[in-house]
Amino acid sequence: MIEALFNEPAYLAAKKTLDAVAVRQEAIASNIANLETPGYKRVDLAPSFRAELDHACASGDPQQLAALKPTLATDTTAVANSQDGNTVSLENEMMQLNQNVMTHTLETQMVSSLLFRLKMAITGKSS
Amino acid sequence: MIQPLSGIQNTAAALDAERTRLDVISENIANANTTHGIDGKPYQRKVVVFQSALQQAMGGDNANATPTLRVARIENDKRPPVQVYEPGNPDADARGMVSMPNINIHEEMADLISASRAFEANLAVVKNEKSMAMQTLAIGKH
Amino acid sequence: MSSYGMMPNTDMVRPAATPGVDAPMPLDQPKEVTPGQGAGESFGNVLGKFVSDVNTKQNVAMEAVDGLQSGQGVPLHQAVIAMEEANVSFQLMVEVRNKLLDSYQELMRMQV
C-alpha cells in the first residue's frame, strides 16, 4: 500500500539510472586504473541498458522498471591506439568520468526532490 | 568491511603501482651518472614490469570483476653501459674509458610525465567518487 | 540484528494508535444501518495493513544498510534511498496517527 508513494515512473527511472551510474563509475575507475595494463580492453555499461530503460519507462510498469539490472560489458567498439593492445584512451575516460558525475548530480537531485515533495505533502511544512 | 566507495580498490592498486613507477624513474634520473654503485659496477637502469591481476568485485558478483594493475617486478634494463672517454675518472680502465649507466634523460622525462598523468587521473577518480558519495549521502537532506 | 531495532518503534506506535483504530467503532454503526456499503475492508484492517507496510519498509531499509555494512556489494545510494523511503513512510504514518487521534478527541469533546 505504502509502495504507491514511490511508484512514480520518473522516480523509479531515476533510481535505476543511479544504479547505472554506479556501475559506470566502476567501469571508468577500472579503465583509468588499467591505463597501462598491456592488453586491457576497456569496459563500460552494457549498451543494451539504455534501450531497456527506455522500453520499461514507455510501458510505465513499475515491476518491469524494478527488474532492470545494469551490468558491465567489454566495449567492443573501442580500438587500441598503442602497440600493447590496450584500448583505453585517458582523455575519453576523463570526459566520461565528468559526464557520469553530472548525471549522478542530476539523478540524486531528482530523487531528493521527490522525497522532499512527499515530506512537504505529509507534514504540510516547507522545510 | 563497509565499502561506501565501490570500485575504489582498483584505483588504489593503480595509484600504488604508478607510485612505484615514479619512484623507479626518479631513481634512474638520480643515478644517471653513477659509475660506481654499491657493487662497484655502474648503475643499471631499472624498469617496472606491470601485471594485471583479476580482482573479484566486492560482494562476490563475478560478472563485474575487473582486472587491477600490479607491479609484477622491477628489472634491470638489458642495454649495456655506454663507454665514455674520461681518463681522469678514478673508475676509468686502462684505455681511459669509463662505463656510464645507459640512461637517456629525455626518455626518463617522457616516462615521468606519463606516469604522473596516470597518477593524477586516478586521483581524479578518487576525488569524483568521494564527491558522488557525499551527494548520495545528502539525498533527502534539505 | 539491527532490523529488530526498528520493531519496538512500530510496536510502540501500535498501542498508541489503537484508540485511533477503535475510534471508528461508532462510525461503523451507520454502516450497519445502511447495508450494502460494507463490502470493503474495515478501516481497522486498512490501518493495520498500512502499519505493517511501514514496518516492512523499515526492515527493507535495515537490510540494505546491513548489506552495505557487511560489504555484500549493496551500493551506497540504494541504502540511502531505502532509508529515506522508510523515513517518509514512517513520517506519513505518524501524521496519520496524529490526525486520527485529533479527530477522535474532537469527537469525544462533542456535546451531545
* Cα–Cα dist B60/C24, whole Å: 52
Cell 490526525 identifies what position?
Answer: C99
Say whether pLDDT at C3 is over 60: no
Say whether pLDDT at A100 is over 60: yes
pLDDT tens across A3-13, in order?
Answer: 888 888 889 99
* Cα–Cα dist B135/C90, whole Å: 23
* Cα–Cα dist C35/C49, whole Å: 24
- Partners of B122 on chain A (C-beta within 8 Å) are 32-33
Nearest chain C residue (CA) to A17: C77
Provide the ipTM. Answer: 0.86
Say whether pLDDT at C15 is over 70: no
Cβ(A22)–Cβ(C109) below 8 Å? no
Residue of A17, A35, A101 to mutate when probing chain B, most B C-beta within 10 A: A35
Instruction: Say yes or no for a CB contact (<8 Å) between B128 and A101.
Output: yes
Residue B73: beta bridge partners? B49
The region of weakest confidence among A12-26, A85-99, B54-68 is: B54-68
* Cα–Cα dist A21/A30, whole Å: 14
pLDDT of residue B106: 93
What is the arithmetic mean of pLDDT over B22-40? 88
pLDDT of residue B4: 64
Q: What is the mean pLDDT of chain C?
A: 75
* Cα–Cα dist A65/B16, whole Å: 40
Grid coordinates representing B98 are 669509463
Say whether pLDDT at C97 is over 90: yes
Say whether pLDDT at B33 is over 90: no
pLDDT of residue C39: 60
pLDDT of residue C35: 45
Say whether pLDDT at C26 is over 80: no
Q: Where are the beta strands (DSSP E) in chain A?
A: 43-45, 72-74
| Percentage of chain B exceeding pLDDT 90 | 34
CB contact A28 to B (< 8 Å): yes
Burial class (CB in 10 A: 0-12, 13-18, 19+), A21: buried
pLDDT of residue A40: 84
* Cα–Cα dist C54/A7, whole Å: 15
Range with the largest mean pLDDT of B79-83, B99-103, C104-108: C104-108
Instruction: Say yes or no for a CB contact (<8 Å) between A108 and B136.
Output: yes
pLDDT of residue B65: 62
Say whether pLDDT at C4 is over 60: no
Within 8 A by CB and 6+ apart from A18, the residues are A104, A107, A108, A111, C77, C81
Give the pLDDT band (50/70/90) at residue A66. confident
Tell me which residues of chain B, numbers 86 to 105, contact chain C at a CB-CB cutoff of 8 Å.
none
pLDDT tens across B89-113, in order?
Answer: 888 888 888 888 888 999 999 999 9
Say whether pLDDT at A16 is over 70: yes
pLDDT of residue A82: 80
- Partners of C61 on chain B (C-beta within 8 Å) are none
pLDDT of residue B81: 86
Interface of chain C against chain A, CB under 8 Å? 46, 49-50, 53-54, 57, 75-78, 81, 84-85, 88-89, 91-92, 95
Q: What is the mean pLDDT of chain A?
A: 88
pLDDT of residue A57: 86
pLDDT of residue A34: 87
Say whether pLDDT at B25 is over 80: yes
Residue B98: beta bridge partners? B84
Instruction: Say yes or no for a CB contact (<8 Å) between B57 and A37.
Output: no
What is the arithmetic mean of pLDDT over B71-75? 85
Residue C48 phi, psi (nearest 5)? -60, -45
Give the pLDDT band (50/70/90) at residue B126. very high
Nearest chain A residue (CA) to B68: A34
- Residue B92 CB: number of other CB atoms within 10 A? 16
* Cα–Cα dist A4/A50, whole Å: 25
pLDDT tens across C48-60, in order?
Answer: 999 999 999 999 9
pLDDT of residue A1: 78
Nearest chain B residue (CA) to A114: B140
Instruction: Say yes or no for a CB contact (<8 Å) between C75 and A22.
Output: yes
pTM across the whole model: 0.78
